[in-house]
Structures are given as C-alpha cells and as structure tokens.
Structure 1
Amino acid sequence: MAGPNELLAALDGVGADRRRGGYSRHVFDDAERELREWFVEQAEARDLRTTTDQNANVWAWWGDPGEGAVVTGSHLDSVPGGGAFDGPLGVVSALSSVDLLRANGFTPRKPLAVVVFAEEEGGRFGVPCLGSRLLTGTIDADRAGALRDPSGVTFAEAMRSSGADPARIGRDEAALRRIGQFVELHVEQGRGLIDLDRPVAVASSILAHGRWRFRFSGQGNHAGATLISDRRDPMLPASQLVLEARRIAAGVEGGRATVGRLVPNPGGTNVIASAVDVWLDARSPGDRPTRSIVEDLSGAAAKFAAAEGCELDVTEESYADTVHFDAALRDRLSGLLDDAPALPTGAGHDAGILAAEVPTAMLFVRNPTGISHAPEEHAEPEDCDSGAHALAKCLAHLAG
C-alpha cells in the first residue's frame, strides 16, 4: 500500500524546470506524457481499468464503468515553473485512497473512478480546464482544436501527434452520465487552513475569473535609428496597462488583476516592437465586478494605445462565473470530516467546471507557505496523509 508522499516522490524530477525552478509539465509534452504513463501503470497495478476519453482525459475504473459513479482525481500538468503539489497531490491521494479502502476490506456498491484531466492549467494552449471544458461542451470544439501554443502548434496537431483523434473532441454525453458525484482533492492555494490550524477543509465557492489578451499594435523599427518623436511603440501602452490593472482591481472589493505574461514581437533587444500581447487574469467574488475590472481596464488601454498612435484588440480567452459547490454534498463531507471548515478559493479547478453538470465537492490540504503556482508551494507529509485518509473516508461514504 503506497501513501501519497511515496507516490509524489516517484514524480520528483519529471518536468523539472532548470531555468524557472519548480516544474513545467504541459499537455502532450514529454513530461506530461511520462506522468500519464506513470498514472496508467499505477492504476493497472491496482487492477483499475484505464481508458482515455475523446478529450484526452484519462480514467481508471474500480470495477466496470457505469452511470452514477463516484469520481475523484485532478490533473498532472502545471503552470510554467509551478510547484510539486498543484494537481498531482489530488491524483496520488486518489490512488492512495483506493489502497486505503482495499486495505479496510471496502467494496464499492457504486462504480468508482479516478480521472486525470488534460490541460487544467492552460500552460500550453492558454485555456484553463480545457479537458473538463471539452467534456462538458463549455468550449467550442473547433475553437479548442485551433488553439496554438507559443511555438504555433495547434491543440489538434498536438493531440494527433500523441495518437488521439482531434476530430472527436467535444461534449461527451456518455462520460458525463457516468459521473454521479465528483470530489477533487487539492493543495490549498492560500492561507485559510494556516489561520484555522486545520489540516483539511472543504470548498464552498470559486471566484468568478477569466483571461483576456490585449494586443497592442504599433510600428516595428530600429532602436537606435528611430527618434522618440517618430515612434509608435506598443510597449508603452502595454506597460501602462500593467500598472493600471493593479490600480483598478484595488478599487474593487475582493478584486484581483494580474499580468503574468507579456510577449513582444519580434522580441529583439535593439528592436522597437511591432506588437505586444499582454494577458490579463481578472477575478472577483462576482460576475459584475470581474467584468467591470476588464471593461474599465479596456477603456484605459484604448486611451493608452491612442496616445502612442497604436491600435488595440481585446480578446476574451476564457471565463467562468462564480461557482458555488453543491451545498448538501459540502455539508455531508464536512460533517463526515469532524466539521471540516468550508473555505472559498480564488483558484479555478476542473471541479468548478463540472459543478454545472453534477454534484461536486472539493477537499483542500493545508499549505504551510500559503504559496502556489511557484516552487515554494508545499504540504507537510502528515497533512498529505490526512488528506488521503479524508478522501478515502468521503469515497467510502459516497460509494458504499
């Protein structure tokens, strides 16, 4: 029987990012494929039946697949330079839960499955929770297939190179019917459990959040031969956007606005950029405040662009409204876990996408650093064990 810490240790080094620190594991790249293969090996070693659905999500079934199943799992991909726990902790805890249940002589009365979702972070193709969005049909299949990574490879091309058929992607009614309830365990991305001095919590809600691309277009030119007065430099309005995002979000209660990626074209040190793409992540406790942040920032960005003689194009790349997890399921699991506290989260998850389709819940495991999406992300071994035991207890209750 393997615990979550032992299973996590087996992943150490896969996709390690020497430049950024942490891990870079993106859908269909070598590291992510290695992790998928590892998951299949681990599942089959437990006599779980594995399949990959039409949207590249991997399933491992305890017994025969069937409708009304209790499903758990998470993802194995990461943000660029991400931590070791975001995603993989949920997967290894699910496998460990199967071991714990079997060691206790448990036999599920309902079908039980572990799932690994594809491209949860959007680290390669830009859209988060892509596997669960395709599963539920909340992203258009043609749009998803045409998404491009930074090298210009489309999602369809990457999927085809992995041996899958991109012509089949899209809402999967059969797979959705099999999910009766979904419970995702995740390392906490914040300080709630630190302040409460508890190892495990249940989720109450997810902030409304989305991603927008601001493209500023100007005139590429020579950095030394072009007078300041003759420039149409898109880097200037792009830079102003970064500062304005902080100012506008600070005026919205619970608002967050982040520019984590900015790409100039062509990107030479001695070249005035011809265009600059800026990606904005905006979040708040509600739909209207989140969209207000983006609308106000779009208006300001248009003025910044006009002042420099540049053009602006704003594209919404993804959006999810506020998610409130199934209250009855949340309360059942909280009571089962010694009145575990219910915490909101500012982070998006596949569970948030599935919540519109099936009763869904989340468990959080304490993160003593409070840091996530960075190498300092952490969870203590004893808390990881507590999380796996809590998940096993929830699965036994739901599937037994």
Structure 2
Amino acid sequence: MGQQLESQRRVPPFRVERFKQRFDAFSEIGRSASGAMNRPFGSPADLEARAWLVRLAEEAGFEVYFDAVANLWGVRPGQVDGPAIVLGSHHDSVPDGGRFDGPLGVLMAIEVIQSLQEAGYQNALPLSFVSFTAEEPNPFDLSTLGSRTVAGRLTEDQLNAAADWNGRPLWEALTAAGGGRDRLAEVRKSRDDIAAFLELHIEQGRRLESAQIPIGVVSGICGIYRETVTVAGEANHAGTTQLPDRRDALLATSEMLLAIEQKLQAADNPELIATVGRLTVTPNAANIIPGECQWILEIRGGDMAEVYGFRDACMQVFADIAARRGVTFRRDLMLDQQPQPMSDEVIQALQQAASALHLPYMNLASMAGHDATHIASFTRAGMVFVPSLGGKSHCKEEASRMEDIEQAFYVLAAATMALDTAIATEEGYRHGDR
C-alpha cells in the first residue's frame, strides 16, 4: 500500500519497522510488571521518557529545546521565516494506562517530519513536533498543563501556587523536567508562532472500529467540567454508634454517586456523560465511621448548557441527601473547559488527504479532552483518530492496529504538505518575514 499511496500524492513511504522499533522501545519506559504504563508527570519514568525523546529527535536532525513548562519542541527550519506547522501530542500516562494514548502522536509527529525530510521535501514553513507536559490528570491537579500554558489559559499565579499531594512545588518538578520559571514569558504562543497544529490520537472509543473505518477526522472536542466535592459527616466508633446516631460521609457519598448514574440514565444523551473516578475516605479505618469523603465529579458534553443543567440537577439531589443524612458538602471548581471546534481549514486538509489516498474516513466529535483543545483556541488545529481495539483506553489492554496507524501516517504527511504550501502561499511569507 505504501508504494501506491506514495505515487499518488508524493507522500513518502512509511518506514513501518523503524516506527515499530521506536514505539516498542519507548513503551518500555514506565512499564510495570503487569504490562501497564505508569508515566505520570514528574515521575522518574517521565524524566527518562524526555531524555529518550531528546536523543531520538537529535538523531533525526531536529533542533530540540524545552520551554519554561518543559514542553519538548523539535524544529526543522523552513525556506521562509514564518509560523510553524506543528504535529504532536503528549508522552505522560494515567496510572496503569496503555502504550498508545499520547506517545503514538508524539512518535508519529517525529516520523512524519523525518520522513518528509528524507524524501527531499522542501518545506516552506518550519515543521515542528511537540510533546506537551502533563496532559493527563496528575499529582499537581493541572491536566493539559503544557498546552494550556502555551495557549495562555494557565496563569503565572496558578503555576506558582500549585503543589502535588505531598506538597512538592510544581516549579520544582518543572525545573527537573527541563523547564524554568525565568523563561515563562516565552511559553505563550500565538498564530504568529504556530500556523497549524495536527494531533494523532487513538479514538478511545468504538465508533471507528464498529464502522470498520480506519481514519477519524475530528470535528470538535467536548467541554469538560470538574469539581471537587467534599462531604463532611462525623467520625465515630463503628461498634458503639447506632444507625440513628450516625453521620456517615461514605454512605451519603454512595447515595450521591448512584443519583448521578440515575440522572444520566434518565437524560439518555450520548453526548453527555459524568464520572466519579477518584475518591478519598477519611479516616479510612475498619473500626471508624467515615467522617469525610472527597471526590471529583467530572461531566463532559458537547453543549455546556446541558452540562451545567445536569450539574445543577445533581446538586439539588445532593442537598436533599445531605439534609436527610445529617452531613454537609462543599464544592470547589477544578476545570470548566468549553467545547472547542477544530479548524475548518485543517479538517478540509485531512479530508482531502484521505480522499486522495482512497482511504475511508469518518467525521466525529471527541468525547475525550486533548491538547488540541487549547491550541485550537488561538490557531488552526485538527486531529486524526485511529481505531481503538475494543474501545479500550486508559488500561493496559489499550491497542490499535499497525495497519490503521500506517494509513494515519499517509493522511498526516499529505495534510502537512498541503497546509504548508497553502498557508505559506495565502499569507505571503517570504524570507525574513513574520
């Protein structure tokens, strides 16, 4: 297939064995005995992954650097001094996660740009890859940290105030990863720096696999709302306190969580979902009634009016449960991220690339958050999805077929060339111009 596609669109061949070797080698970093990935931001595995990517990028001929929040950038200069076409994703993982979520997009970004260079492609604009810092939820409670800072959506005060669950300051971890507070002013990017951004990612769902379609062109990314809920009851002796005298924070929390599920079932909306995925019980002892529970409520949807409406309906039920059980609850906002459409120009470039290569594709919205959400807030951005086998993600069983990944390479390479030519021509960049 590679030779056929190359002849149709001047797309360089996909060096599948090279890519597999790199992907498999990178997948050993942070791999547990069970085969799951544990590579959270700030961990030794995160630092090892960064050093590995730097070595690979330098060997592939990129000019490599870290910015203040330790985003890793690699640049291939263009024929004109204009904004870059950037490809990339992230390299960190969730606890006990899979190999593909994030690193697939980073390694493919390097592969696409290196392959274009090896094929003699003369890019007009600079071509760059990026691996964003801390895309996944992490001990510092700042997910998509790198891309949000690039987009100006994280402030210096927020970065300065952040610490992990053990009190480690965020800047200590960022400095160890290659960043530095003294360079913070240089992190923020604009359309004058990034002309377009492309991110390859696994779908993390079953729509592509069910339709037997190898390529997903993402139309937009859902909104994400997160808040911390703290339910306060009364810790007391588990043996001597009778039921009428108990103010059990865990039982109240359990009832609240079941109410969330019941309201979701009643809503019956495929583009509205809610999850409680982190729960802390205090004092968490077998012979003590739980006095406090803290948990994170996450709601996702394509329409934030529906998200807020669902949230408010849940809070009414929570208030009734709390009054009946003699507990109180407090809410603290963590994230209120609006839905983000992708760029029509990038969507069209991806669709035209797939059509010219005779590759079936599907337009679909993402119900997962990605770095592209934030980059799309200030410049052209788009995403390509490849099928996730069984729809599995954020687990060690996460997998995608190399045949689908190969097809994504050709779409990304063709779209990169098309955007490079179109943007440089339309915006009239010349040597020395910005």
Q: Which residue of 2 aligns with 1:303?
A: 320
User: Identity across aligned pairs (percent)?
Assistant: 30
SS at match of 1:240: helix
CA deviation profile, 1:211-249 (whole Å, cap 9, x unmatched): 111111122233234333322221112111211111122
CA deviation profile, 1:238-269 (whole Å, cap 9, x unmatched): 11121111112223323201111111123223
Partners of 2:180 and 2:27 lie apart in 1 by: 31
1:213 to 1:246, Cα distance in 2 relative to 1, 3 A: same
Residue 227 of structure 2 corresponds to residue 206 of structure 1: no
TM-score (norm 1): 0.93
Indicate which of 379, 401, 414 corresponds to 1:380: 401
Q: Which residue of 1 aligns with 2:109?
A: 94
Q: Which residue of 2 aligns with 1:280?
A: 297
Letter in 1 for 2:326: G
**Equivalent residues of 2:349, 2:415 under 8 A apart:** no
Partners of 1:393 and 1:233 lie apart in 2 by: 59
Letter in 2 for 1:36: R
- Measured after TM superposition, the shift of residue 163 of structure 1 is 5.6
Q: Which residue of 1 aligns with 2:7?
A: none
Letter in 2 for 1:38: W
Partners of 2:417 and 2:409 lie apart in 1 by: 12
CA deviation profile, 1:323-375 (whole Å, cap 9, x unmatched): 11112320122111116321111000010111110010001112222111122
**Equivalent residues of 2:36, 2:98 under 8 A apart:** yes
SS at match of 1:102: helix
Q: Which residue of 2 aligns with 1:48?
A: 62
Partners of 2:94 and 2:297 lie apart in 1 by: 15
Partners of 1:284 and 1:173 lie apart in 2 by: 28
- Measured after TM superposition, the shift of residue 169 of structure 1 is 4.3
Q: Which residue of 2 aligns with 1:395?
A: 416
Unaligned runs of 5+ in 1: none
User: In terms of mean alpha carbon deviation, does 108-117 or 49-58 score higher?
Assistant: 49-58
**Equivalent residues of 2:41, 2:134 under 8 A apart:** yes
Q: Which residue of 1 aligns with 2:36?
A: 22
Q: Which residue of 2 aligns with 1:328?
A: 345
Q: Which residue of 1 aligns with 2:372?
A: 351
CA deviation profile, 1:79-131 (whole Å, cap 9, x unmatched): 11111101010011111112321232112110110000011112332232111
Letter in 2 for 1:245: I
1:170 to 1:218, Cα distance in 2 relative to 1, 3 A: farther
SS at match of 2:389: coil
1:391 to 1:244, Cα distance in 2 relative to 1, 3 A: same
Letter in 1 for 2:387: R
Partners of 2:285 and 2:183 lie apart in 1 by: 40
1:150 to 1:26, Cα distance in 2 relative to 1, 3 A: same
1:13 to 1:170, Cα distance in 2 relative to 1, 3 A: same
Partners of 1:309 and 1:172 lie apart in 2 by: 48
Residue 124 of structure 2 corresponds to residue 118 of structure 1: no
SS at match of 1:222: coil
- Measured after TM superposition, the shift of residue 133 of structure 1 is 1.0
1:165 to 1:270, Cα distance in 2 relative to 1, 3 A: farther
- Measured after TM superposition, the shift of residue 157 of structure 1 is 3.5
- Measured after TM superposition, the shift of residue 148 of structure 1 is 3.6
Letter in 2 for 1:137: G
SS at match of 1:221: coil
Residue 363 of structure 2 corresponds to residue 342 of structure 1: yes
Indicate which of 298, 314, 317 corresponds to 2:334: 317
Residue 217 of structure 2 corresponds to residue 217 of structure 1: no
User: In terms of mean alpha carbon deviation, does 99-108 or 168-177 score higher?
Assistant: 168-177
1:145 to 1:18, Cα distance in 2 relative to 1, 3 A: farther
CA deviation profile, 1:287-316 (whole Å, cap 9, x unmatched): 100111111112222222222222211112
User: In terms of mean alpha carbon deviation, does 294-303 or 284-293 score higher?
Assistant: 294-303
**Equivalent residues of 1:145, 1:156 under 8 A apart:** yes
- Measured after TM superposition, the shift of residue 145 of structure 1 is 3.4
- Aligned-pair Cα RMSD in Å: 2.2
Partners of 2:377 and 2:33 lie apart in 1 by: 39
Partners of 1:157 and 1:240 lie apart in 2 by: 40
- Measured after TM superposition, the shift of residue 156 of structure 1 is 2.9
Give the greater-gyration-radius structure (CA): 2
Would you say how many aligned residue pairs link Structure 1 and Structure 2?
Answer: 399
How do 1:109-188 and structure 2 match up within 5 A? 109-162=124-177, 164-166=179-181, 169=184, 172-174=187-189, 177-188=192-203
